[in-house]
Structure 1
Amino acid sequence: MLRIHFTGDDLARTVLADEPDALWEVSISLHRLQRRDAGVVFGPWRSRILSRIPTSIRLLSSLAPARGYCPDFLTPARGASRAAQMEALRSTGRSTIRAELREFRRQNPKLHLPSWCARLAEGDSETLGRLAHTADAYFDACLTPYWDRIRAQVHRDRTRRLAVLADGGWEALFRMLHPSARWSHPVLELDYPVDQDMHLQGRGLVLQPSFFCRYNVTSLLDPRLPPVLVHPIDHDPGWALPAGARAEANPLAVLLGATRAQLLEAVANGAATTRQLARLAHTTPPNASRHLTALREAALLRSHRHRNTVLHTVTPLGVALLNGQQPQLPA
């Protein structure tokens, strides 16, 4: 059980991260590779990237096992750029590494750390550099080709959660994090592999969506680190397919047509102007404008003029349709 203790100031300082976190996705995607689960959602991605995985991946997978504790230093500097995160990883202090490797042994007694971890614990910068280089190479080979799609899915999920927050407040949002979530002010409880208490102490909480997180929430162990709760999102099962195959597999495209489905998804993911939307849907602005008019007439989006530009936003009905929910039709 994970118990998150809020003070009076913490809800005001709790935020929904607006981007996927590169190193959390590296770590959690390695769980998916090793566990070989969630085949419908991640199977196509796994089959496409197996031949691209760097040969040095065991450096990472030995510290990010399929199940169990993963050292906090592998996921540093939340909210920083990927380059800054990699530099933070390379700069991890020896005392931190030693403490977290001891914790790894304690929490994963059936796993054996490889011999090179002794050099890591002694502060060998070359070994730590190789670990960071492997994380970077793995990201480039296995995540970069899909990163735009991953970001789009995270953005769409965040838009849906913000709508729930606006309508139902924090309690409604917390219930969305996981089926086990229970909010009894001032404590949020969630099922967790170990028994852990997180005291926010006025620091607030970052709700970090993770694309590759599938079944359970996760977090950092060290109470001195900025509080973060990593949670799964809803997925489009065809996300890893080539563009043409995704369109054929997308039931929304069958209902609306491929171009209108692309436009509606792009609006929900934050694109706002007709020109931006046309570019994302690979069509001309006049053709995009015609399709956007049809979507507006169907109450799936709203449009308003700002100076010389028309801006588009998705409606609650449009969000419900994108998320496969039973929509509340307008009167």
Structure 2
Amino acid sequence: MLRIHFTTEDMAHTRLAAEPDVLWEVLLSLHALQKRPGTKEFGLWRDRARGRLLGGTADLSRMLCELAPPVGYSADFLTPTAGLSCLDEALDILLATPRTRLRADLGDLAPRRSPATWLGALASGDTTVLSTLGEAVRRYHRTALAPYWRPIRAQVEADRALRLHALATGGVARLLTHLHPQARWQPPVLELPYPVDQDLFLNGRGLVLLPSFFCFGIPITLKNPDTPPVLVYPVVRSPGWAAGDTARPGPGPRSLTALLGRTRATVMQLLVHAGTTGELACRADISAASASQHATVLRQAGLISTRRQGNTVRHSLTPLGAELLNSSRGPH
């Protein structure tokens, strides 16, 4: 049983992540890759991903599986973010993990696995091993997740709309109790089924609710109580989501593509969901410089607006841009 202890302040600070988190999807898809449960949901994806991971990527994939076994504890430091979909930004945070955290997490992992020789070097913060880990995540993501990122994002966004409706009509309590059929809200404690007995005291930090495509069965959280509190829960997956994978975002509607060009039309289509320049570059699979250039042209045309948030800028469609995008799609 997992018991999450809320205060009044925690209720006010509980929020729903805006996007799927790329590192959580890497971790949980590794679990799905290694075990058979969820054959109906993940069977086709698993077969294709395993075939693609054979060869030069296999050794790096085995490295990740050492850190993320299919059952039991997976190293907490692999998922330092909650709601960050840009792989480059997420990897920067992962590879900056302090040595003390690496040692602690790998110490929790070691009793469950026969330690590989490179784990000791990783625990000491060896930069070469950390670089190899980063490359392993990048290649795995490119091979197993990037071709499916559009349906992953779409179904997480659909789930988020349902959760926001629950929040609007019944408050945080209703949002929490709808995360799982066996969830029980006994103020101020949320109880959820869990493979181990664990208490999570929020202590005013609030809770990030993170919808996840590859989370299966029950919500999960981190083991370390000192990490920012996050509860990852499964979304409903549409049948056949893995049948038509493509590695890059598709072009925008034909008329819009003819007007703006393929890449700029794709950028505009992606800005249905506002994002930073870095996020836009990741979504469109282009460089940050190219994303910035396209955003500038679209902004000068009055199709998007840009506002600064701290050290980043965030782009979104203007009413004119939304009208143009909708009209280009035709009556359907």
Shorter-chain TM-score tier:
0.7 to 0.9
Deviations 1:55-109 (A, max 9, x none): 2101100110010101111011334432121112212222111111111134x3x
**Could you list the runs of 4 or more consecutive aligned residues of structure 1 that deviate by over 6 angstroms after TM superposition?**
269-272
Instruction: Find the counterpart in structure 1 of residue 38 from structure 2.
Output: 38
Q: Does 1:95 align with 2:100?
A: yes
Deviations 1:112-163 (A, max 9, x none): 2212111112221111211121011101111111111100000001101111
Instruction: Find the counterpart in structure 2 of residue 201 from structure 1.
Output: 203
AA matched with 1:158 = R
Whether contact under 8 Å (1:77, 1:84) holds in the other structure is no
Whether contact under 8 Å (2:10, 2:202) holds in the other structure is yes
AA matched with 1:47 = D
How many residues align structurally?
256
TM-score for the superposition, normalised by structure 2? 0.72
Whether contact under 8 Å (2:210, 2:230) holds in the other structure is yes
Instruction: Find the counterpart in structure 1 of residue 161 from structure 2.
Output: 159
The separation in 2 between residues aligned to 1:15 and 1:276, in whole angstroms, is 30
Instruction: Find the counterpart in structure 2 of residue 224 from structure 1.
Output: 226
Shift of 1:176: 1.6
| Local SS of the residue matching 1:9 | helix
The separation in 1 between residues aligned to 2:32 and 2:151, in whole angstroms, is 18
The separation in 2 between residues aligned to 1:38 and 1:242, in whole angstroms, is 19
One of 176, 189, 194 as aligned partner of 1:187: 189
Shift of 1:31: 0.5
Q: Does 1:6 align with 2:6?
A: yes
Instruction: Find the counterpart in structure 1 of residue 82 from structure 2.
Output: 78
Whether contact under 8 Å (2:82, 2:208) holds in the other structure is no
Shift of 1:277: 4.8
Shift of 1:275: 4.5
Q: Percent same amino acid among aligned pairs?
A: 46
Q: Does 1:276 align with 2:325?
A: yes
| Local SS of the residue matching 1:138 | helix
Q: Does 1:58 align with 2:62?
A: yes
The separation in 1 between residues aligned to 2:222 and 2:124, in whole angstroms, is 23
The separation in 1 between residues aligned to 2:202 and 2:128, in whole angstroms, is 35
The separation in 2 between residues aligned to 1:4 and 1:24, in whole angstroms, is 20
Shift of 1:172: 2.0
| Local SS of the residue matching 2:67 | coil
**1:277–1:44 CA distance, 2 compared to 1 (3 A):** farther
| Local SS of the residue matching 1:152 | helix
Shift of 1:179: 1.9
AA matched with 1:276 = L
| Local SS of the residue matching 1:238 | coil
Shift of 1:4: 0.6
TM-score for the superposition, normalised by structure 1? 0.73
**1:169–1:88 CA distance, 2 compared to 1 (3 A):** same
Whether contact under 8 Å (1:21, 1:210) holds in the other structure is yes
Shift of 1:36: 2.4
The separation in 2 between residues aligned to 1:214 and 1:24, in whole angstroms, is 12
Whether contact under 8 Å (1:174, 1:183) holds in the other structure is yes
Structure 1 runs not aligned, ≥5 long: 244-265, 279-283, 292-331
Shift of 1:228: 0.2
Whether contact under 8 Å (1:204, 1:227) holds in the other structure is yes
AA matched with 1:203 = R
| Local SS of the residue matching 1:169 | helix
One of 134, 155, 166 as aligned partner of 2:136: 134
The separation in 2 between residues aligned to 1:119 and 1:187, in whole angstroms, is 40
The separation in 1 between residues aligned to 2:198 and 2:103, in whole angstroms, is 21
Deviations 1:145-201 (A, max 9, x none): 111110000000110111122122222221221122110111101111111111111
The separation in 2 between residues aligned to 1:277 and 1:196, in whole angstroms, is 48
The separation in 2 between residues aligned to 1:76 and 1:45, in whole angstroms, is 25
